[in-house]
Amino acid sequence: MKRKNLTSDERKAATVEAVIALAASSNPADITTAQIGSYMDVTQGALFRHFPSKQEIWTAVMDWTANQLLARIDKVESDNPLDELEAMFVAHVDFVVTHPGIPPILFGELQRRGKTPAKALLQKLMAEYGVRLSTKLTRAKSAGLIACDTDIPAAAIMFLGIIQGLVMQSMMTGNSSMMREMSTRLFNIYLGGIGAKM
Amino acid sequence: MKRKNLTSDERKAATVEAVIALAASSNPADITTAQIGSYMDVTQGALFRHFPSKQEIWTAVMDWTANQLLARIDKVESDNPLDELEAMFVAHVDFVVTHPGIPPILFGELQRRGKTPAKALLQKLMAEYGVRLSTKLTRAKSAGLIACDTDIPAAAIMFLGIIQGLVMQSMMTGNSSMMREMSTRLFNIYLGGIGAKM
DNA sequence: CAAAAGATAGTGACTAAGTACTATCTTTTG
DNA sequence: CAAAAGATAGTACTTAGTCACTATCTTTTG
């Protein structure tokens, strides 16, 4: 069997992919460098040629995730802020459904004590997400599309919370296909909550 | 130094308490039997006199949690189902605020692969919680207190999701005191979402 | 009722199985 | 052929779980 050498960048990308794939079927905290290596048909020691420590692998994973998620929710474009919010919602749910390992990774990172680089990236991601939500909600309010007394910070937390709840539900039942269908039903309730005129 | 022997039941209860306390300041997955023992001023080996395995400790913790949480949300009593829902919401948030180790524990257990006894208990807890929510929402609908076309399953998921989101937010900022204040703001949006007449 | 006997809780040193990470040698590749 | 990627075989350390023994508590019995 002939061995295939990848460039350092390729191997880094493959590593991130491997971690995300593994996280879909095992607790992120329990993923070992040996498992990551074996997933890529590479020995465990080879990882340390590209990452100085395991923690750096998590940082790379968080970085990839943040970029992917923000890119997806930034792709929405409409002159109606409510349509944009719905598109963000759908894009986010879609991202999670197609990458079931991501939510456990985020939670695992969130639980970590102290401020690791990976956790800092996660906080930055959430902050930027929040800005986007607030902006669109404010525009919707100005346009008279939602109730004029809408509590925007609370509405932003709620937006993310709904997705959270969905993810949790699907992890509990092990059924992630219900997410897409349920997401529109949840979003309808959300629209009612912020007094959207339909 | 005189040694204090506890009965097996007392020691089990103390262990559960220790685990919950430790989970407030460190990742549940990283809690070792040595840490648990040291928290109670007992050696690590002593734990295995009362629990056959570490997994059984987690099961005991889940059992305690499920009983506590259900007891608290069952205490609410009113002739107005919406008031009951709000009281459940407040009771749940209060439980989480006073036991900050619980959410990480639940999420850690949820991530575990396969069906451990602890995970089964968690699923049972959620199922029972869901029943209570559906019952109250149905009563509210019959009484005309909320919109007659309310999507009850979605509303039940949403109820839990909001709490999820709150918890996540507080874990991110490390500020859990904002939870109580924010919870009423979120609940107001929720009421709007299910078309509550105010 | 006090002392012996038995039961139970806790100790401390150990083990076996991992873990992240490293030093050195080998293969691939431009 | 030289530089980069991977293999091999480690190191040093951590972890859940074990076990023979000891301290403490409870029950029996002369």
- Specify the 3-state DSSP secondary structure of B83: helix
Q: Is A65 helix (H, G, I), strand (E, B) or coil?
A: helix
Other beta carbons within 10 angstroms of residue A134's beta carbon come to 14
Q: Tell me the backbone φ, ψ of residue A196, rounded to 5 degrees.
A: -70, 140
The residues near B64 (Cβ < 8 Å, ≥ 6 apart) are: B16, B20
How many Å lie between the alpha carbon of A50 and the closest alpha carbon of chain B? 26
The CATH classification number of B52-193 equals: 1.10.357.10
- CA atoms within a 13 Å half-sphere pointing along the CA-CB vector of A104: 27
The crossing angle, in degrees rounded to 10, of helices A178-193 and A81-98 is: 150
How far, in Å, are A35, A83, A100, B25, B145 from residue A68 at the CA level? Answer: 24, 21, 14, 31, 42
For residue B82, the tally of other CB atoms under 10 A from its CB is 20
Compute the mean pLDDT over every residue in chain A, rounded to the nearest whole number: 93
> Averaged over B91-116, what is the pLDDT?
91
**Contact between A158 and B28 using a beta-carbon 8 Å cutoff:** no
- Round to whole Å and give the CA distance between A81 and B36: 51
Place of tokens 């107005």: B80
Give residue ranges of B with CB < 8 Å to any A CB: 25-30, 104, 107-108, 110-113, 122-123, 126, 147, 151, 153-155, 157-158, 160-166, 168-169, 171-172, 182, 185-186, 188-195
- CB atoms under 10 Å from CB of B151, counted, come to 18
B34 touches strand D (CB under 7 A): yes
CB within 8 Å: B192 and A194 = yes
Mean pLDDT across the stretch A51-59? 95
Q: Spell out which residues of chain B touch residue A166, defining contact as CB-CB under 8 Å.
A: 157, 161
Please tell me whether any atom of strand C lies within 7 Å of the Cβ of B25.
Answer: no
- Which CATH number among 1.10.357.10, 1.10.3720.10, 3.90.320.10, 1.20.1090.10 corresponds to the domain A53-193? 1.10.357.10
Question: Which tokens sit at B192?
Answer: 């709007």
Q: Report pLDDT digits (tens) over A70-128.
A: 999 999 999 999 999 999 999 999 999 999 999 999 988 888 877 889 999 999 999 99
The helix (run of H) or strand (run of E) holding residue A155 is helix A152-173
pLDDT in tens, A149-177: 999 999 999 999 999 889 988 988 888 88
At B1, the pLDDT band (50, 70, 90 cuts) reads: very low
DSSP B143: T
